[in-house]
């Protein structure tokens, strides 16, 4: 991170500025970092079956990559949504599906998208989705409209995992299925890349139309009616990984805050001598350390007892960690003054992404509801 990734950020940003906000090609410096990461053995660390390390081990590594969210996760092949998609293919894919899609994802040769969220329904409840997946002989026909399909704007994106309804009359959580859709399939239209607080991320967060899209029945992931269960299996580790990276962003913001306070003079003395800054630094350190312990507790529970046993802890982390990250980033912005809201420092971009994190992978309200239900059930209510 210190020797290669952070120094590469300027090259990354200069490439993106020169290419323009609607260009989704990967800055070449990231491919250079991928070669270096593989040389050092820092590759596919997110999946214990491949890396040989635990979720708790990975927590610290993921946090460090969160210091440079646009570069470090992809440099180590640990970027969303590919990690979650690789886990799905690893756990539920057929040998043919794994050969065609998992291996190139594992090697970092392609990217993928996870197409679940829809603009016309409240997708915080995945049973709401309206996209239809209808079997017609040896094919499935897909019709629907999705958005926030991250990764789909990248020209390397070769696969979309699409969730839709195969049986609207089935039990509520058995109506959905997932199918594997190559991005070049006729009827797949990437409508636009949706900006996050006015910013276009390199790989994009896309609105997509599926108009009579046909794929062979062997593109079904898992079985019919298993889509909701697969989504939950995918989101468990994915949520905690997001939280781990958010801790890294909070640490970087605190570091920037301390550096700025130490070098900036106001009213005759450094900002670091001001009592209000002392309070901001101290509260940030306390909050980060508390959030880290919660995150690691959740990761350790996954290691020992599995995703289901850790569900409530993961929900707690998903609420608490982005909240802490936003608080720390906001304090750092304030200490930086006008520079904090500019693009001369990364704080504004960091704030926008972590504010969005309170919505994606389930909004805070849904996670708080799940936490409360767990507590009430444990109390016999």
Say if residue 66 is in the same domain as residue 189. no
To 5 degrees, how large is the angle CA 215–CA 218–CA 224?
Answer: 95
| pLDDT value, residue 347 | 97
Say if residue 368 is in the same domain as residue 277. yes
Say if residue 158 is in the same domain as residue 189. yes
Say if residue 353 is in the same domain as residue 261. yes
Domain of 28, CATH number, reads: 1.10.540.10
Tens of pLDDT, residues 23-47: 999 999 999 999 999 999 999 999 9
Say if residue 66 is in the same domain as residue 144. no
Say if residue 331 is in the same domain as residue 346. yes
Say if residue 330 is in the same domain as residue 238. yes
Is residue 70 helix, strand or coil?
A: coil
Is the preceding omega at residue 81 within 30 degrees of 0, hence cis?
yes
Q: Tokens 């029945």, residue?
A: 217
Write the CB contacts of 17 (distance below 8 Å, at least 6 apart in sequence).
none
Say if residue 115 is in the same domain as residue 186. yes
Note the pTM of the prediction, 2 decimals: 0.93
Structurally, how many domains does the chain consist of?
A: 3
Say if residue 192 is in the same domain as residue 237. no
The answer to whether 277 and 229 have CB atoms below 8 angstroms apart is no
Nearest Cα residue to 207 out of 187, 225, 188: 188
Tens of pLDDT, residues 263-307: 989 888 889 898 999 999 999 999 999 999 999 999 999 999 998
Tens of pLDDT, residues 46-89: 999 999 999 999 999 999 999 999 999 999 999 999 999 999 99
Tens of pLDDT, residues 149-203: 999 999 999 999 999 999 999 999 999 999 999 999 999 999 999 999 999 999 9
Helices (H), the chain: 5-19, 28-39, 48-51, 55-65, 72-75, 82-92, 95-97, 103-106, 227-263, 275-305, 311-336, 347-356, 364-378
Q: Per-residue DSSP letters for 35-53?
A: HHHHHTT-SSTT-HHHH--
Judge whether residue 254 has pLDDT over 90.
yes
Task: Decide which of 106, 121, 150 is a domain's last residue.
Answer: 106
Say if residue 22 is in the same domain as residue 138. no
Judge whether residue 235 has pLDDT over 80.
no
Residue 249: domain span: 229-378
Judge whether residue 355 has pLDDT over 80.
yes
Average pLDDT over residues 343-350: 94
Cα separation of 42 and 60, whole Å? 13
Tens of pLDDT, residues 89-143: 999 999 999 999 999 999 999 999 999 999 999 888 888 899 999 999 999 999 9
Say if residue 143 is in the same domain as residue 201. yes
Say if residue 220 is in the same domain as residue 234. no
């Amino acid at each position: 991170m210190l020797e290669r990734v952070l120094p590469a950020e300027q090259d990354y940003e200069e490439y993106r500025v020169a290419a323009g906000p609607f260009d989704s090609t990967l800055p070449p410096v990231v491919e250079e970092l991928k070669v270096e990461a593989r040389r050092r053995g820092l590759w596919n660390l997110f999946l214990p079956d491949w890396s040989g390390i635990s979720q708790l081990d990975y927590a610290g590594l993921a946090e460090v990559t969160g210091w440079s969210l646009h570069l470090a996760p992809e440099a180590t092949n640990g970027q969303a949504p590919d990690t979650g998609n690789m886990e799905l293919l690893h756990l539920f894919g057929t040998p043919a599906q794994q050969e065609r899609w998992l291996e190139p994802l594992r090697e970092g040769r392609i990217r993928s998208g996870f197409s679940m969220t829809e603009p016309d329904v409240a997708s915080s409840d995945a049973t709401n989705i309206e996209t239809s997946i209808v079997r017609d002989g040896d094919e499935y026909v897909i019709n629907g409209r999705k958005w926030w399909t991250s990764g789909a704007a990248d020209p390397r994106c070769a696969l979309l995992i699409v969730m839709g309804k195969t049986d609207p009359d089935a039990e509520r959580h058995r109506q959905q299925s997932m199918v594997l859709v190559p991005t070049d399939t006729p009827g797949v239209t990437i409508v636009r890349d949706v900006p996050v607080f006015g910013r276009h991320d390199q790989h994009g967060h896309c609105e997509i139309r599926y108009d009579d899209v046909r794929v062979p029945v062997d593109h079904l992931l898992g079985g019919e009616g298993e889509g909701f269960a697969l989504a939950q299996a995918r989101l468990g580790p994915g949520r905690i990984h997001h939280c781990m990276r958010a801790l890294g962003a909070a640490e970087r913001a605190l570091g920037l805050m301390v550096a700025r306070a130490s070098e900036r003079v106001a009213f005759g003395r450094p900002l670091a001598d001001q009592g209000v800054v002392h309070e901001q630094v101290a509260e940030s350190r306390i909050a980060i350390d508390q959030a880290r312990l919660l995150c690691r507790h959740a990761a350790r529970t996954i290691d020992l007892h599995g995703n289901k046993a850790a569900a409530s802890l993961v929900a707690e982390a998903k609420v608490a960690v982005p909240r802490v990250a936003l608080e720390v980033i906001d304090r750092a912005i304030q200490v930086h003054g006008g520079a904090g809201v500019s693009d001369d420092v990364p704080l504004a971009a960091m704030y926008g992404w972590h504010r969005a994190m309170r919505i994606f992978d389930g909004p805070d309200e849904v996670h708080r509801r799940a936490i409360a239900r767990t507590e009430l059930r444990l109390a016999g209510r």
